[in-house]
Amino acid sequence: MNASLLDVEGLTVFLPVEGEERPVLRDVSLSIAAGEAVGLVGESGSGKSMTARAIVRLLPPGARTEGVIRYRGEDVGSLRGAALRALRTDVAMVFQDPRAHVNPVRTVGDFLTEGLRTHRRLSRRAAEERAVRVLDEVGIAAGARRLRQYPHELSGGLLQRVMIAAALLAEPRLLLADEPTTALDVTTQAEVMALLDELRRERELALLFITHDLELAAAVCDRTAVMYAGRVMEVRASALLHDDPLHPYTAALAAARPSLARRADRLPATPGRPLSAFEAPPGCAFGPRCAHARDACHERRPELLPLAGGQAACARAEELRGLLRDRNGKPVVSHDHA
């Protein structure tokens, strides 16, 4: 494993809501090594995007944070001015909806070259030549013509490739990809993900890939972290996440995905609804929905502890290991084998 590039330790984020602070992240800890791809999965509202935004200090006004984020050994919270701008160059972000992050009245060329001309002091011609090369790298032909176009003239897939090109122009070491394929059709999703994976390996980039899709994370990422109610519930090698889940919530997520290998009338559903961090009870946040919960699970919040080459935040994780899948290899949700 390469040296650690990013370390997040005990990250808690509070946002002002109706005059009072409410937590949206609680005690989030994860790390990414140089050149490593880490997936971050979970339901909507679990805190995935907020975690990525906290890493590059793009939180909403009034946000307050606790814990430490270190990038290449430096405390991100202490960075100011030029040092913070340098961080946001070295750590690039690809957002979920490209149309919400480009200026519709400026050309693609303006969008791509502004940073190069402002921060790298390149001439317009040099910046445009470099932008055309990177557009070609992300699979966009006729780059010079594309630079003269406006965002509305491009399809969703092309515009997402432009966003990836914009991130790569800064030559980052770490790429934060926040559900970059959500708004795209299935075929385009596959093309964009194959492109991201190929570019990551060619450039030896580290990647934090945020997604709802466990199988997509497994296909792209070395390790996957599973979030629920603003907390990391499990971190596991992606290849093992389906076959040997350490947390009941991970098993529930895997069970909720249709399988091409098995026929089922209905997919297993976990009772209850997802919780936000500020709604979570004193014990395990997943406890009210968990078939394996015991009284102790509702009394104290479990810590994220090492287990079987990964980590799990479950008081019964070691006891339940191997029992979260049935004899057909299907994740167990509603029946307690313990």
| Predicted local confidence at residue 334, as pLDDT | 43
What kind of architecture, by CATH, is found in domain 4-221? 3-Layer(aba) Sandwich (3.40)
Could you tell me how many helices (H) and strands (E) the chain has, helices first? Answer: 11, 12
| Predicted local confidence at residue 330, as pLDDT | 59
Give me the helices (H) in the chain, please: 48-55, 81-90, 108-119, 124-137, 143-147, 156-169, 186-203, 214-220, 238-241, 248-255, 317-320
- Strand extents, DSSP E, 54-96: 64-71, 74-75, 91-94
| Predicted local confidence at residue 28, as pLDDT | 96
| Predicted local confidence at residue 130, as pLDDT | 94
Low-confidence ranges of the chain (pLDDT < 50): 327, 334-338
| Predicted local confidence at residue 337, as pLDDT | 39
Which residues of the chain are in CATH 3.40.50.300 domains?
Answer: 4-221
**Residue with token string 């939180």:** 59
Question: Is the CB of residue 93 less than 8 Å from the CB of residue 176?
Answer: yes
Q: Strand 231-237 vs strand 91-94: parallel, antiparallel, or unpaired?
A: unpaired
Q: Which residues contact 141 (CB under 8 A, 6 or more apart)?
A: none
| Predicted local confidence at residue 243, as pLDDT | 80
Q: Is the pTM above the cut of 0.85?
A: yes
| Token duo for residue 153 | 């003239």
Rg (alpha carbons) of the chain, rounded to whole number: 21
Compute CA distances 333 → 175, 253, 270, 315, whole Å: 34, 9, 7, 17
| Token duo for residue 184 | 């795209």
H/E stretch holding 28: strand 20-33
